[in-house]
C-alpha cells in the first residue's frame, strides 16, 4: 500500500465515523505520526508505507474515532498566527476568540497609557495573553487561572513565544490574584449552561469542565467577574468579555448594574453574531 492509498482509507474511516473535515484531519494525523511536513507528505504520496508507520498512524486514528479532539492528539493549535501547545488541561483556543485580541489591538492605538497593563482572566493555554504580548511589545499582561494545570501549559507557551517576562502568570479565582488595578480586563470565561455542556459534542466533553461550565444560566463566572471588576480597573479602563450571542441582553444588564455610568457596547464576530461585550469606564 502506498501513502496515497493509505490516506484515502483513513479519510473513509474518519468520514464513516462522522468526522466532517476528514481529508485535512487524516493528512494531519498521518503527518504527525510520520513526523513529516506538508511538502514531504505530498512528495511521498507514491511511496510505500511500512507496517510500523501504518500501525502508529492507526493508533492516532483510533484516538480520534473515540472522540478525542484533533488538537489534543496533535498537541498544538494555531491562534492569532501563533502556534500553541495544548493538552487536555486547557480549552482548545477558538477562532472566534481572536476578536478579543483584535479589539484590544485597535483600542491600544487610542489609549495613551505609557505602560499598558492588561489582565487576561482564565488564561487557559495563554492564547489571548500571549498573542497580546506578541503584538504589544510594551505591555505587561497578567494572566490568571483557577487551574494550576492550565497555568503549566500557559507557562510552556509564554516561553515558546519569548514573552515570559511580560506575561505574568497568577493562580487564583478571577481577579483576586491581581495586586494592582489594570487598564484592560479581558476574558473568555466559561459561559455554557451546565445543560448545554451535558448535550455537547463528544469532543467538547473532552475539554476541561471548569473551562466551559458557566453554571445553570451560563452566567455565573461573568457575574462574579463583573461584580469585582470596578475595583481592579484604572480610570478610563476597558473590559472585554467573550459571550454566547444569546446572552447579550443579560450580560449588558449585569454590566449596567456594576458600571452605572460607563459606555457599554457589543461587537459582532465574522458570523455577524454578538460575541464580545465592551465596557468603557468614563472616569
Task: By CB under 6 A, name the one of 70, 72, 99, 145 that touches ligand SAM.
Answer: 145
Binding mask 94-113 for ligand GLN (x = CB under 6 A): x-------------------
The yes or no reply on residue 157 touching ligand SAM (CB under 6 A) is: no
Coil, strand or helix: which one is 74?
helix
Distance between alpha carbon 66 and the CA centroid of its chain, in Å? 23
The yes or no reply on residue 150 touching ligand SAM (CB under 6 A) is: yes
| CB-count burial class (<10 Å; 0-12, 13-18, 19+) for 257 | exposed
Stretch touching ligand GLN by CB under 6 A, among 7-15, 36-44, 185-193, 253-261: 185-193
Q: Considering beta carbons, is residue 140 or 192 the nearer one to ligand SAM? A: 192
State the Cα–Cα distance between residues 29 and 218, nearest whole angstrom.
34
Helix H or strand E encompassing 8: helix 3-16
State the Cα–Cα distance between residues 223 and 225, nearest whole angstrom.
5
Chain position whose Cβ is nearest to ligand SAM: 122
The yes or no reply on residue 69 touching ligand GLN (CB under 6 A) is: no
State the Cα–Cα distance between residues 170 and 177, nearest whole angstrom.
6
Task: By CB under 6 A, name the one of 191, 239, 251, 278 that touches ligand GLN.
Answer: 191
DSSP per-residue codes, 67-98: T--HHHHHTEEEETTEEEE--TTSPPPPGGGH
Task: By CB under 6 A, name the one of 127, 132, 169, 239 that touches ligand SAM.
Answer: 127
Cβ-Cβ contacts under 8 Å for 198 (sequence gap 6 or more): none
Minimum CB distance to ligand SAM, residue 89 (Å): 8
Name the site residues for ligand SAM (rule: CB under 6 A).
Answer: 90-91, 93, 97, 121-125, 127-128, 144-147, 150, 173-174, 188-190, 210-211, 221
Amino acid at each position: 500500500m502506498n501513502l496515497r492509498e493509505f490516506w484515502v482509507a483513513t479519510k473513509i474511516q474518519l468520514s464513516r465515523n462522522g468526522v466532517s473535515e476528514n481529508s485535512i484531519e487524516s493528512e494531519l494525523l498521518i503527518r504527525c505520526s510520520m513526523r513529516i511536513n506538508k511538502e514531504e507528505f505530498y512528495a511521498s504520496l507514491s511511496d510505500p508505507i511500512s507496517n510500523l508507520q501504518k500501525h502508529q498512524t492507526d493508533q492516532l486514528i483510533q484516538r480520534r474515532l473515540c472522540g478525542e479532539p484533533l488538537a489534543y492528539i496533535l498537541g498544538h493549535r494555531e491562534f492569532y498566527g501563533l502556534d500553541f501547545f495544548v493538552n487536555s488541561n486547557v480549552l482548545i483556543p477558538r477562532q472566534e476568540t481572536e476578536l478579543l485580541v483584535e479589539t484590544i489591538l485597535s483600542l491600544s492605538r487610542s489609549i495613551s497609557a505609557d505602560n499598558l497593563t492588561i489582565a487576561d482572566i482564565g488564561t487557559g493555554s495563554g492564547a489571548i495573553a500571549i498573542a497580546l504580548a506578541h503584538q504589544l511589545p510594551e505591555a505587561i499582561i497578567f494572566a490568571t487561572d483557577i487551574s494550576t494545570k492550565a497555568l503549566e501549559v500557559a507557562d510552556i507557551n509564554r516561553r515558546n513565544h519569548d514573552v515570559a517576562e511580560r506575561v505574568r502568570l497568577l493562580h487564583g479565582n478571577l481577579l483576586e490574584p491581581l495586586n494592582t488595578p489594570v487598564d484592560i480586563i479581558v476574558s473568555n470565561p466559561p459561559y455554557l449552561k451546565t445543560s448545554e455542556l451535558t448535550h455537547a459534542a463528544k469532543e467538547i466533553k473532552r475539554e476541561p469542565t471548569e473551562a466551559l461550565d458557566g453554571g445553570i444560566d451560563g452566567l455565573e463566572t461573568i457575574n462574579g467577574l463583573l461584580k469585582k471588576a470596578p475595583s481592579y480597573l484604572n480610570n478610563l479602563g476597558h473590559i472585554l468579555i467573550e459571550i454566547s450571542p444569546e446572552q447579550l441582553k443579560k450580560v449588558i444588564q449585569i454590566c449596567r448594574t456594576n458600571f452605572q455610568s460607563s459606555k457599554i457596547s457589543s461587537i459582532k464576530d465574522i458570523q455577524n453574531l454578538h460575541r464580545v461585550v465592551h465596557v468603557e469606564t468614563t472616569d
